[in-house]
Amino acid sequence: MEESIEWVEKYRPKSLSDLVGNKKSIVDMREWAESWLSGVPEKRAVILHGPAGVGKTSAAHALAKDFDWETIELNASDQRTAGAIERVAGSAAKMSSLTGTSTKRLIILDEADNMHGNADRGGARAVGSIIKTTDQPIVLIANDLYGLTPSIRSSCIELKFNSVQGRSMIPALKKICVEEKIMCGVGVLEKLADNAGGDMRSAVKDLQAVALGRDEIYIEDIATSERDTKESIFKALGKIFKSTDPKSALQATYGLDETPENLIHWIDENLPLQYGTQEGTEEDLITGYRHLSKADRYLGRVRKRQSYRLWRYAGVLMTCGTVVSKSHVSRGFTKYQPPSFWRKMGQLRSKRDMRDNIASRIGDHCNESMRYSRTDLAHLYGRMLKDDAYAVDVAVNLDLNVDEMVYLTGGKKVTKGIQKINDLAQAQRSTYGNDDAPVFFEKKAVKKVQDKKQMDLNQIMQSAASNGNSKAEETSKTVNSAPKDDPKPDQKPAAKAKPQRTLFDF
């Protein structure tokens, strides 16, 4: 039974002092937890972000044990919709602990950057609202920091967990071997640490796999190879802009979880920041964009012909071309920015959704199509919003909020006049009933004129029943009026059958 227990769980750190590596982040995490002992701090949640297997989840549970806090955990296997998070984490953030004491309850949300799809609908918005109102500490765990919304990141303390160095893994692996009474040969633990690629959890799993059924381990027994690790986009950009070796820059893009369609936007956004900041580098910037334009041609051919083999040429041009474009290497730290093109596309999409939403309400109000309301009627309602005589009535009947009024009037920000209209509209909505609409926007009841010639199903069935009854009465009258002894009238003589014509008659 001992061999069936995973060593990752068996030797999971019980305290923050047992964690390997990331000492600075652990100290900051402890200071944040200590601030909860004197009340509710300004930042009520903390984000532990970094690659997999570096101790983020273990640090959260070790923190709870050090401070004697209860834990409530939600991971990716749980349903994390808005209702589920409000029911579990929301109630935990407001209620006292299970024991009834005044100890805190640590809420752990694992893989917080993977809340997508119908199973997690509305989860990110619920997390953001809980963080702002919680009375209990919250720990969010994520591999990708930018997978969280900006509102959540601004409300939390960000703590980076880096990959664990190999020399830091060796003492922890040696301690496990002593506990399991396993003898290791020279270089075994060093080999396991190097193959793990900074993943402490993988190193422990490899050690357990090699030691299965053995009392002694030699370097020849290690059958695992180095793991494929995903390259960060920021590290890849650093190799593209800072290095002079095109081959190493191209190899750095192979480990990216980005397509060439996305990578070209990253390079396009940061190329002026890297090559256009110093005097005399204008030619480097021009040459870099010349290579990017050629790469974009290949990407266009991929979209048109669906020939994804051309991606290799686009990747070489955008990476190697950028490397060879610079005349000298710039030193110092450069903060790389995400593509502004994505942000603009998101803003345009939100504006289109707002435009269609307003047009739909105008169409319902005027009994017109959505297209006609969007192209011809929206600007008329915008002009009425600028008129004090109709502004409040328009806002009430179309149920407009502040942002929608700014969009209709063509403004860029909320003014005092629009805020005043919004306040008056809210006050008017609270006083109006269901039938108390302004006269200008009152909907007149349309009387349906029924065609007299046209009958519905009930009328057809009633008329059929009445016709049947009348016919039955008439037949009964004729039968009763006819004498019983009268002989039956003579029947008409049957028509004589025509003789059959033969062939000779033609």
Pick out the residues of the known binding site for ATP. Answer: 50-57
Are 72 and 106 in contact by the 8 Å Cβ rule? The answer is yes
Residues 170 and 129 sit within 8 Å (Cβ to Cβ): no
Residues ≥6 apart with Cβ < 8 Å to 425: 392, 395, 396, 400
Cβ neighbours around 339 below 10 Å, total: 17
Contact between 140 and 45 under an 8 Å Cβ cutoff? The reply is yes
Could you give the C-alpha distances from 266 to 241, 247, 336, 338, in angstroms and in order?
A: 12, 19, 9, 6
Other beta carbons within 10 angstroms of residue 291's beta carbon come to 21
Q: Parallel, antiparallel, or unpaired for β 45-49 and 70-74?
A: unpaired
Alpha carbons 339 and 198: distance in angstroms, whole number: 29
Nearest by Cα to 315 from 367, 254, 269, 260:
260
- Distance CA(44)–CA(35), nearest Å, equals 10
Q: Among candidates 141, 131, 137, 117, which has minimal Cα distance to 86?
A: 131
Structure tokens at 32: 């944040």
Q: Please give the helix or strand (H or E) that residue 250 lies within, else none.
A: helix 246-254
Sequence-distant (≥ 6) Cβ neighbours of residue 221 within 8 angstroms: 188, 210, 214
List the end-to-end C-alpha distance of the chain, in Å, as a whole number.
110
Tokens at residue 44, please?
């009520």
Q: Where are the beta strands (DSSP E) in 191-261?
A: 216-217
Annotated binding site: 50-57
| Greatest distance between any 2 Cα atoms in the chain | 132
Residue with tokens 């002026």: 272
Closest CA to 24 of 163, 167, 159: 159
Q: Decide if 70 contacts 106 (C-beta within 8 A).
A: yes
